[in-house]
Structure 1
Amino acid sequence: MKAICFHIDHGRAREVPLEAALQSGPDLAWIHLNGIDDETRTWLHETAALDDYVVDALTATETRPRCEAFGDGAFVNLRGRAKEELDGSDILASVRLWGTRGRVFSVVRNPLVAVGMVKAEVAAGHVHDPGDLFTAFAAAITADLDPDVADLGDQLDTCEERLDSTQIFELRRTVSRTRITAISYRRFLAPQRTALEKLAALPGDWLADDDRLHISAAADRAARMAEELESIRERAALIHETLSDLRAEQIDRRALVISIVAMVFLPLTFITGLYGMNVKGLPYAEEPWAFDAIFGGCAAIAAGVVIYFVRRHWFSR
């Protein structure tokens, strides 16, 4: 079982082995567990002596952002960007936090980018209590996701600038991929905002006033990102419709060209087919000038059809 453990006294952080993580004395003990398996569940049950409902929440298979008050502590589940790309519809990994006075447990199934950012905050002496640690996680996750959300908007800006391009299929793939990512992000960021707002409003003196303000700021940032993602989703849908219209117009123009070519050769095919029959009695079949006359007539008919379409402005449609 992989674990990261810190003892924090008056802002000073000291990394300790898992065996010493639960010793009394420090102002705050942070135990971070990587991976969810039977060994993790057994350690949380037997060694950490956590209640069953807390262990179940920390090790649940399916999770969504939420916040619940349990006794004298709080459980919070947040979603953030994973270090490695995840398969399936859940493109954001979860971190499950259980905090009480003087102690915080965090569990992840897949490594999060935000964990490294929180470790840096702890090592820098910016974390003194559970409220600071919860705040660090909320701020790190939103700060890490913000550039990704901005990149999605930039991708759509680029697609809008290239709407007159002939690379319609490439643009449609980019727009579809951006829209799917925005929908997946928003699916977690909307409830994450609610979870952070609930955390900021929880009763108890283990959350200081400044912690509540910082958590509320992270909730507002999550709300702003959720609104931006909704805007990206709507823009992507409109761009996709525009690309579909452009593709339909492109197909119509090509079909028009094919139709014009067919109309030019249709009477010529009839004439050549008629005089190509191997039967007796065709007019002027024995005359030496017959081939030249038929060829000239076909050329005149083709020119007449083309002039007709030009005057009707079919070629400019």
Structure 2
Amino acid sequence: MSEQMQAHSGLVQALVLDGRGGARHVAYDQLADLRFEEAESLWLHWDRSHPQTASWLREHSDLGEFACDLLLEENTRPRLLNLPDNRLLLFLRGINLNPGAEPEDMVSMRIHAQARRVISLRLRPLRATEELIAQFQRGEGPCNAADLVLELAYQLTARVEGVLDELADELDAEEERLDVDERYVPDHDSILHLRRRSAGLRRFLAPQRELFAQLARNGFGDVDQWNELNNRLTRYLEELEMVRERVGLVLESEDRRMSDKMNRTMYLLGIITGLFLPMSFLTGLLGINVGGIPGSENEHGFLLTCGLIAALIVFQLWLFRRLRWL
């Protein structure tokens, strides 16, 4: 069958693992009569959005209705279900590196694994599966179904670090500009967007960490490798928590700077008001239109009034310094 006809079937990849790190491709029309050696395993990777995928799962996969319903479910979160006969359903999330997509809008991968067959479904392309296929082409891929699931989980997890580095770099730049330039005002929308991105990642990575720990306890595949993935996700979650705290510190620092600036401004306005209030009172009192104003008949009255105001200013400045207001 041609690649175009295989695409129409919803099958993205069909590989028979040879048990030595390599794999051979299988066409869609060969699945019904496919036979492989005891040391070999089968990996079927499907496009979940294709209508033929659901049809094949329900009619030709030998999976129960319950498993098919879960694999085709519209919305999922990271979870693990143990099924009879040492089978399991695994729902993972990976970084969305497709053009125009937000990385924190994580892509779901649904996996049904048994001793010698792995069925995986995705809605959007994943770099993790592309890297895995490249490993098979080099003869360095997983040797069996359990190793295949482990490698898929590893590839999905490994791409989180790049997004975390990007978030940390953006925060480093903001903190550096705040330290260097006192007049710099960070963009609150972009800062809050960093917090939303970290929260979106944490939403799926936290349950995924527990999932890896459960797989290690169940003894599925290499326990040490599952523990290592669990530890790696724990570190990523700690870094995401640090990102959230650093965002809070940046916003708090900016609020404190704005508050200090406002307080200094109000303080200067208070000092200026304190200086001019007595003078305003004095000039207002001398400016009333009634008889008996002192100095109204004196030709030096204006100069005397200016001298009095000047003396009042000097006295106020001395008093403010004495009170440590200046």
Q: TM class by shorter-chain length?
A: 0.7 to 0.9
Deviation of the 1:174 alpha carbon: 5.7
* Residues 286/191 of structure 1: CA separation in 2 closer, same or farther (3 Å cut): same
Deviates more, 1:218-227 or 1:33-42: 33-42
Aligned length: 308
Aligned twin of 2:240: 229
* Residues 189/288 of structure 1: CA separation in 2 closer, same or farther (3 Å cut): same
Contact 1:172 1:243 in 2 (8 A): no
1:69 matched to 2:77: no
Aligned twin of 1:78: 92
- Point out where structure 2 has 5 or more consecutive residues left out of the alignment: 1-7
* Residues 304/25 of structure 1: CA separation in 2 closer, same or farther (3 Å cut): farther
- Point out where structure 1 has 5 or more consecutive residues left out of the alignment: none
Matched ranges for 1:86-235 at <5 A: 91-125=105-139, 126-164=141-179, 165-166=181-182, 169-170=185-186, 176-202=192-218, 208=221, 211-235=222-246
C-alpha distance in 2 between matches for 1:86 and 1:115: 18
Deviation of the 1:68 alpha carbon: 1.4
Aligned twin of 1:309: 320
* Residues 285/34 of structure 1: CA separation in 2 closer, same or farther (3 Å cut): farther
Identity across matched positions, percent: 29
Deviation of the 1:258 alpha carbon: 1.6
1:13 matched to 2:23: yes
* Residues 260/37 of structure 1: CA separation in 2 closer, same or farther (3 Å cut): farther
SS at match of 2:186: helix
C-alpha distance in 1 between matches for 2:105 and 2:316: 59
* Residues 290/184 of structure 1: CA separation in 2 closer, same or farther (3 Å cut): same
C-alpha distance in 1 between matches for 2:313 and 2:278: 8
Q: Deviations over 1:133-185 (max 9, x none)?
A: 21111111221112322444454455555554435641765654444333332
Deviation of the 1:275 alpha carbon: 4.2
Counterpart selection for 1:25 from 10, 13, 35: 35
C-alpha distance in 2 between matches for 1:65 and 1:160: 34
Contact 1:65 1:76 in 2 (8 A): yes
C-alpha distance in 1 between matches for 2:48 and 2:174: 39
Please report the TM-score for the alignment, with normalisation by the length of structure 2.
0.78
Contact 2:104 2:197 in 1 (8 A): no
Contact 1:81 1:141 in 2 (8 A): yes
Please report the TM-score for the alignment, with normalisation by the length of structure 1.
0.80
Q: Deviations over 1:202-237 (max 9, x none)?
A: 36xxx55xx443233222211222233334434444
Counterpart selection for 2:258 from 233, 247, 250: 247
Contact 1:6 1:29 in 2 (8 A): yes
Amino acid of the structure 1 residue aligned with 2:35: G
Amino acid of the structure 1 residue aligned with 2:13: C
C-alpha distance in 2 between matches for 1:19 and 1:285: 115
Deviation of the 1:109 alpha carbon: 2.9
Deviation of the 1:22 alpha carbon: 5.4
Runs (4+) of structure 1 moved beyond 6 Å? none
Contact 1:36 1:107 in 2 (8 A): no
SS at match of 1:170: coil
1:261 matched to 2:275: no
CA-based RMSD of the aligned residues comes to 3.3
